Amino acid sequence: MSTSISRLSVAQARRVQRSKEIWREFSANRAGLIGLIGLLLVIGLALLAPLLAPAETLDVTRITSPQNQAPSWANPLGTDPAGRSVLAMLIWGARISLLVGFCATVVSMVIGTLMGMAAGHFPGIVQAVFMRIIDFFLVLPGLVLAIVLSLVIGPGAFTIILAIGVTSWAGTARLVRSQTLTVEARPYIERSWALGASHWHIIAKHVLPAVLPLVLANTTLTVGSAVIAESTLSFLGLGDPGSISWGSMLKSALDTGAATAGFWWFILPPGIAIVLVVLCFTLVGRALESVINPTLRGR
């Protein structure tokens, strides 16, 4: 009993030490640290939206501000054609955009990880079938398929999450498959097979822990792509009409003719927000890649 407890404590100490090493290497990357600070700031604003901009301020029946007002002290980013504060809409829009981005990425990562490990682990006809499915989704236009799914299921945040998750997992699957083949070529996997290990034991105990760091690094990059996809689908009118997102703000600007009327304060903020958030996710993802793959540190 004491031996097993000591082994567990040693394993925990190793994990803590490894976590400290990863954070030390990550914090040494200035670009990744800037991206992480930016993401934490945006996430904090999204979580504090009810306090920073109460929902009542976006109720068109209670608004007293003039329509299409230029930025002022009362409204730092101006107002939209309905008289709502663009700053308040930007803060509330971050909640939907980030929520859809994170949830769609989770769906994509789960499908891609499972398919990638299966395609790399099982040989013969099983591997061939999985690879053909992955190749099919790789060449399939993801945006077109997402639009079709959104039209079939109906507009809404859940529809966008499902559409993005189902159409963006193939790249992760190819990445996980290559890592799975690398792991299973190592000698300790052969010893596990010789000792009678099952497929579940090999995948759960050896393959999955080895591919998870790579999946984590790829997740941060995929979230940025999911945010762009959400904004695109919302801009096309496939989002939830009852909620505010950065994509729906751009669509509203298009429908109301804000660009032609010169109301730049209703167009630039959501566009800049999308660019900055995607840039932050990219910086964090590249920094994690350099931590996980030491060969990238010198580049």
Number of Cβ within a 10 Å radius of residue 5 = 9
Stated as kind and residue range, the H or E segment containing 157 is helix 157-167
In a 3-state reduction of DSSP, which class is residue 61? coil
**What confidence score (pLDDT) does residue 213 get?**
79
**What confidence score (pLDDT) does residue 11 get?**
54
Window from 43-47, 170-174, 189-193, 291-295 with minimum mean pLDDT: 291-295
Window from 60-69, 82-91, 171-180, 217-226 with minimum mean pLDDT: 60-69
Number of Cβ within a 10 Å radius of residue 293 = 12
Instruction: Give the range with max mean pLDDT: 56-70, 133-147, 269-283.
Output: 269-283
**What confidence score (pLDDT) does residue 294 get?**
55
Task: Tell me if 250 sits within 8 A of 259, measured CB to CB.
Answer: no
Percentage of residues in the chain having pLDDT higher than 90: 4
The CATH number of 97-272 is 1.10.3720.10
Give long-range contacts, CB 8 A cutoff, 24+ apart: 62-71: 68/258, 68/261, 68/263, 68/266, 70/265, 71/265
pLDDT of 9 over the 70 cut: no
pLDDT tens-digit readout, 280-298 = 888 888 888 777 765 545 5
Residues 6+ apart with CB under 8 A from 122: 130, 199
DSSP 230-282: HHHHHHTT-S-TTS--HHHHHHHHHHTTHHHHT-GGGTHHHHHHHHHHHHHHH
List the domain boundaries for the chain: 97-272
| Burial of residue 9 (number of CB atoms within 10 Å: 0-12, 13-18, 19+) | exposed
Tell me the pTM.
0.80
Stated as kind and residue range, the H or E segment containing 217 is helix 208-235
Task: Tell me if 106 sits within 8 A of 100, measured CB to CB.
Answer: no
How much is the mean pLDDT over the chain?
A: 82
Give the chain's radius of gyration (CA, Å).
23
Tell me the C-alpha distance between 263 and 68, whole Å.
7
Window from 115-124, 163-172, 175-184, 191-200 with minimum mean pLDDT: 191-200
Answer positive or negative: Cα dihedral of 250, 254, 255, 259.
Answer: positive
- What is the mean pLDDT of the segment spanning 208-232? 82
Amino acid at site 6: S
**What confidence score (pLDDT) does residue 44 get?**
92
pLDDT of 171 over the 90 cut: no
Window from 3-17, 25-39, 160-174, 198-212 with minimum mean pLDDT: 3-17
Task: Tell me if 42 sits within 8 A of 277, measured CB to CB.
Answer: yes
pLDDT of 87 over the 60 cut: yes
Angle between helices 2-27 and 268-292 (to 10 degrees): 130
pLDDT tens-digit readout, 21-75 = 777 887 888 888 898 999 999 999 999 988 888 877 787 777 777 888 888 887 8
**What confidence score (pLDDT) does residue 15 get?**
66
Instruction: Give the range with max mean pLDDT: 8-22, 35-49, 259-273.
Output: 35-49
**What confidence score (pLDDT) does residue 295 get?**
52
Query: Angle 131-135-140 (CA atoms, 0-180°, nearest 5)?
Result: 150
Tell me the C-alpha distance between 20 and 147, whole Å.
43
**What confidence score (pLDDT) does residue 184 get?**
83
Tell me the C-alpha distance between 247 and 238, whole Å.
10
Amino acid at site 225: S
